[in-house]
Structure 1
Amino acid sequence: MDHVHGALTALVPLDPSTKSGLEAYDASIRQYLATLRKSAAEIQAVVLSDPEGIFKILDPAQHSIGYLHVLDILLSPSNSAPLPISSNVLLDKIVDFLLKFDHIQVRYVGPEMLALMERVAYHSNAVDEAMEVLGGAIYLYPNMAGSKENKLLCDPTLAPFSYLSAQTGLSGTVRPSMILEYDHIRGLIYTSRRDWGKAEAAFQQVISYPCKERVVSKIMVDSYKRWILIGLLRRGKAPTTPAFTSSNANSCYMTAAKHYLNVAETFGTTGAGVLKSLVEENAATWEEDGTASLMAEILSSYQKWQVLGLRDVYQRIGLARIRATTLSAETGTALEDDDAVAALLRDMMESGMLQGELEQQGDERYLLFSPDSDVVSEAEFARMIAQSHHNIRLLGRQYQLVNDRLSGSKEYVRQLVKEQKRAEKDGVDPGVGFDSQIEDEDLMAGILAHV
């Protein structure tokens, strides 16, 4: 028991400022890890027999590696025996560790740290906490060529991209399919929050991903189907694929998503009954694709977009007129009375979809559309200018960072030279045919995708 206690607390955290100090600290950490591996069976036995006693001698801020090692033993899938500690106590220990751990020490135990973070993420399902990360742009992938550092892991000046890698275990090898999955999941999350703009942008990342020949993955097709529907919800009409989308991908989309394109085409017409029948006839397809809830949103929003279309003709319109000129795709008929129209309009106003107000004149009720205006106050204009300057400066720094990293990538430079030679030989722009000339491996080696 004492031997295990001594082994777990043997590492003394330091903050060296010299090269020799860093080298000594690095060596002591590696020796500490070797001791833990050598005594693994003994440590496991003691931890499983008295976990709370072990936690009492460990400080997550001072003994981060040892503390994480204990957590890893208790959470190990190979440990089939009942937990020797209550779930609530263990959760408290995990939270305490995540709030206090030494970010230098955990660089040396990447696989264990990543496993703990993944477990917490999957079990907590804390989407709100992930939104800030999901909305950020990606400027670097782990293990990009040219991202290696000669500094020691314990060096506090080490840049994050240097230790967030497959070599340390704090990240895995990023494959093209993982990028597609990431953006697809982002789109699903934004869809669940009814943030149509961000959902559309995320799915667009997937559908426009470079592909070679006629190889279009299922996840790209699935994203395209949702992208079409979300475009209808966001602007009332089908979106247009970006110009840089592969022509082969576009051809595949047209074939694989024909039912969705039919819905999009019908959505822009006055055929509410036709749209209703089309959605009902292909209910099995929507269920299989997991888009049934989005189709319900499409039917619900059809009449709302018809109402918004009246802005182009009317500034003020009676509710009776709205009822006579718009139809519900959910029923295929007009709303039953003016009260139902008023309820629809209030719902649109509360959601921010409609800018206007209801007014009563005698026995008649009217919708007054708010006039569109691009006029802004002097203060608001100054704020917009300041924000633009800030964005430009930020973009400049980000561009410089990406340029520096790509310039140090042998694979990127080699590919660039090859493309220039091909252009000189063929007499074409090296940027043309990008999607059909660069392999996935080259993309991941140093060329950023559309992120």
Structure 2
Amino acid sequence: MATMDQFVDALLAFPPRSDLTDNETYHKAALLHAQRLSKILKERSKDLVVFSQELLNVLDPTYNSLSYLAILHASLIPSPAARVEQEFILSKLVTFMMLFDGRQCRYGGLNLLDVMEAVGNGRLLPPSVAVECLASAILKLDPSGALLTSSHLLLARLAYDTDNIQPALPVIDKPIVYYPGAPDNNNTQYLCDLQLPPALYISKSTGLTSQLKTSSVLEYDLTRGMMYCARRDWRKARDAFEGNVTFLARDGGCSKIMVDAFKKWILASLLANGRHYNTPSRTNASTSKIFGLLGRPYVSLATAFATDDVEQLRLEAQQDAHVWMEDGNVGLVEEVMASYQKWRVLSLQDIYTKISIAEVRQMTKSAETGSTLRKDEDVEALIQNMIIAGMLNGVIEKNDDGTKFLQFLSPTVHSEADVAREIKNAAVIIHHLRQASASTDHRLGRSKEFIKYLMKEAKREKSGEAQDPTLGFETLLEDEDLMGDSLNA
């Protein structure tokens, strides 16, 4: 049996007390240490568990992240060891998830993924703690949050299912640019290089994510949209669902998840914009036809919503009540009906700059009752709520005779500081997009699937064959390969 001191010496061997200034030196040292830890876990895992409490008290989770991870893995995977005090080991798990060194844990591979999956599956920690820990871990590995991983999907499911959405937002709000695929073949690149795009160090090969299929990507956006709906953040919900609506399905196909997202996208659009727009131009034509057929009740509801005919809107909502129930969209439809009068009030600013509260009451109706509100005070309260929520830019004024008016205001003029801040934020976004574009071009240019596609196109042009504009590179790929390196940044 190994002694405590032997374990301490081995676990404290990395990083060495002297600074590792260059990537090559750090990479070699990290690989060697990871190999030693792997051997310990394979041959002496039980001994490691015996000394786990003492060892974890000696190690620094930030400085000795890989060693700390090895002890946690031995103590918790596949299930918490009976010899370890549960409260102690789980508190150390939380500390690790919040503090580990993301650069060092790029070499943690499957051990880190096992721990993140155990947390994400809700087996170890209370949901509120698990969501915060998992979100923190995801961003420590990839501060940009730009690469979609299997841990993202676990986080979204757990946060939505347990109604712990707020702590997941730092991850969920990040726009996805990369998808996990095969690692780059350039041997001069090191996992520890802080300039690497995340797709070059987070992959199935490095063990930091499981492989994602197209259904996983679709599920992630659908769940994100539902999370935003739960928070009544309709614009973000609409954008999340739109990712599914415009997804490049193979051969113009359309999955059930895409249809579900289309229906929710229509409802979220009504709540965010007060109207439903046609499917984006980048949506495949065949897919759009399927949407139109399977989502007809939703399109009819949206068409009525954009008019002053409240009775027609109520009829559409009532006659397709079974559809909303079957699709699980009753709550969203109720939100749409409740918002109808607010959007009719907003539409008045296209005609008036100032209008009395009494006139607003006579000119707008509630879709929930089909009638005007009973009192001017009810209309005033509705308008005040719209102003407070930021939906309406206006004020309620009172004349000398006591008559109250709604004064629509011009759009807010931003200060120079606000404009400068927006420009700075835009510059940061553009910088990240340029990096992503360059990485995508580099990897796509080396993809055998893309090269085959270019050769096929060259032959077609030479033979004079007409190209079907609805067909493209994506039609050459199988579903399970869509997240492979050919379409990865």
* Cross-structure match for 1:147: 184
Q: Which has the higher contact order (CA 8 A, sep 6+)?
A: 1
Q: Over aligned residue pairs, what C-alpha RMSD do you find? A: 3.3
**Alpha-carbon distance in structure 1 between the residues aligned to 2:25 and 2:433:** 38
Letter matched to residue 116 of structure 1: V
Q: Aligned in 2, Cα 1:269/1:62: closer, same or farther, shift over 3 Å?
A: closer
Equivalent residues of 1:324, 1:334 under 8 A apart: yes
Q: Is the 8 A contact 1:246 1:435 kept in 2?
A: no
Question: What are the Cα deviations for residues 260-286 of structure 1, in whole angstroms up to 9, with x where unaligned?
Answer: 122112212223233234324433432
Q: Taking structure 1 as reference, are residues 103 and 387 closer, same or farther at Cα in structure 2, changes over 3 Å only?
A: closer
Name whichever of 295-304 and 117-126 sits farther off: 117-126
Residue range with higher mean Cα deviation, 337-346 or 437-446? 437-446
Instruction: Please say if 1:125 is aligned against 2:131.
Output: yes
Counterpart position of 1:38: 43
User: What is the aligned partner in structure 2 of residue 69 from structure 1?
Assistant: 70
Deviation at residue 21 of structure 1 after TM alignment: 7.9
C-alpha separation in 1, matches of 2:306 and 2:221: 28
Q: Percent identity?
A: 32
What is the CA distance between 1:71 and its match in structure 2?
Answer: 2.0
| Equivalent position amino acid for 1:109 in 2 | G
Q: 1:364 aligns with which of 403, 407, 422?
A: 403
- Please identify the structure whose Cα radius of gyration is greater: 1
Structure 1 residues 151, 43: closer, same or farther in 2, change over 3 A? farther
TM-score for the superposition, normalised by structure 1? 0.85
Question: Is 1:327 aligned with 2:365?
Answer: yes
- Which residue of the partner structure matches residue 156 of structure 2? none
**C-alpha distance in 2 between matches for 1:194 and 1:118:** 29
**Matched positions, count:** 442
Contact 2:228 2:236 in 1 (8 A): yes
Could you tell me which residue of structure 2 aligns to residue 107 of structure 1? 106
Pairing partner for 1:29 from 27, 34, 37? 34
Other structure's SS at 1:359 match: strand
2:61 aligned partner, one-letter code: P
Other-structure match for 1:52? 53
Mean Cα deviation higher: 398-407 or 292-301 = 398-407
Structure 2 residue 91 is matched with structure 1 residue 85:
no
For each residue in 1:35-78, what CA deviation from the matched residue of structure 2 results, as whole angstroms up to 9, or x when unmatched? Answer: 3311234444x26xxx5344334433454334223322443344
**So what's the TM-score if we normalise by structure 2?**
0.79
How far apart are residue 226 of structure 1 and its match?
0.6
CA apart distance, 1:95: 2.8
Cα deviation for residue 324 of structure 1 reads 1.4
CA distance in 2, matches of 1:22, 1:235: 51
Contact 2:63–2:101 under 8 Å retained in 1: yes
| 1:342-381 pair list within 5 angstroms | 342-361=380-399, 362-371=401-410
Task: Give the aligned residue type for 1:320.
Answer: A
SS of equivalent to 1:125: helix
Instruction: Give the direction of change, closer, same or farther, for the CA distance of 1:25–1:33 in structure 2 (3 Å limit).
Output: same
Is the CA contact 1:349–1:356 (under 8 Å) kept in the aligned structure 2?
A: yes
Q: CA deviation at 1:414?
A: 2.6
Say if 1:155 and 1:223 are closer, same or farther in 2 by CA, change over 3 A: closer
What is the rounded CA distance, in whole Å, between the counterparts of 2:335 and 2:473 in structure 1? 35
Counterpart AA for 2:114: A
Q: Which residue of 2 aligns with 1:165?
A: 203
CA contact (8 A) 1:359 1:366 kept: yes
SS of 1:131 mapped into structure 2: helix
- Residues 65-105 of structure 1 show CA distances to partners (whole Å, capped at 9, x for unaligned) of 34223322443344585x74243x33421232234434455
Spell out the pairing of 1:280-299 with structure 2 (5 A cutoff): 280-299=318-337
Q: Corresponding residue for 1:116?
A: 115
Gap runs ≥5 in structure 1: none
- Deviation of 1:225 (Å): 0.6
